[in-house]
Amino acid sequence: MSVWPAWEVREGDGATAWFHVRLVFPDGARVDALAVVAGQGVSLEDVRAVPALSLDDLGALADWIEGPLFAACGREPEVEPEGEAEEAGPRRARPAWPRGVEGRWLIAQEYRAAQEDGVDPVLAVMCATGHSRRKSLRLISQARDAGFLTPRHARR
């Protein structure tokens, strides 16, 4: 993780500081953010991630960067009550999606469930895998080729 200051605004005794933050994960995923440190809180103004973050990961992003941010600006983060701290371990920007036949079968399940619910099946696959629309369409076509989904067009 890299943290570097962007700018700072001082008001009376307090200050609000903006920082650029970059997280690079072992799987090649990357998150760039503009974070604001004001008082004892951290908020995010802009987040760009490749691949896209899930809503759960986006919600946890402030927790991931809080310690290094406060260290960069010379402040101490608020201490969490005992028992509420998450176990530390390697984090990924998105959960690993199984490859091969198992992954194709799961893609087909997501696709069919979205169709039954009346929502966009491609968007459902995008949300489930964390991949772009193009990559999700490729995965859907692979699931079709594997026989887990019906052919797209009727053959004459």
Please give the Cα distance from 120 to 123 (Å, whole number). Answer: 5
What local confidence, expressed as pLDDT, does residue 60 receive?
78
pLDDT (tens digit per residue) in 101-135: 888 999 999 999 999 988 888 888 887 887 788 88
Non-local CB neighbours of 18 within 8 Å, separated by 6+ positions: 5, 6, 7, 8, 34, 35, 36, 37, 45
Residue 11 amino acid letter: E
Beta carbons of 143 and 105 less than 8 angstroms apart? yes
- Counting beta carbons within 10 angstroms of the beta carbon of residue 128, is it exposed (0 to 12), middle (13 to 18) or buried (19 or more)? buried
Question: Can you give the pLDDT at residue 155?
Answer: 64
Residue 115 or 74, more confident = 115
CB 137 within 8 A of CB 127: no
Say if residue 89's pLDDT is above 60. Answer: no
pLDDT at 40: 67
**pLDDT 10s digits, 14-62:** 778 888 888 887 888 888 988 887 766 777 888 898 888 877 777 777 7
pLDDT at 94 over 60: no
Helix (H, G, I), strand (E, B) or coil at 6: strand
Considering only CA atoms, give the Rg of the chain: 21
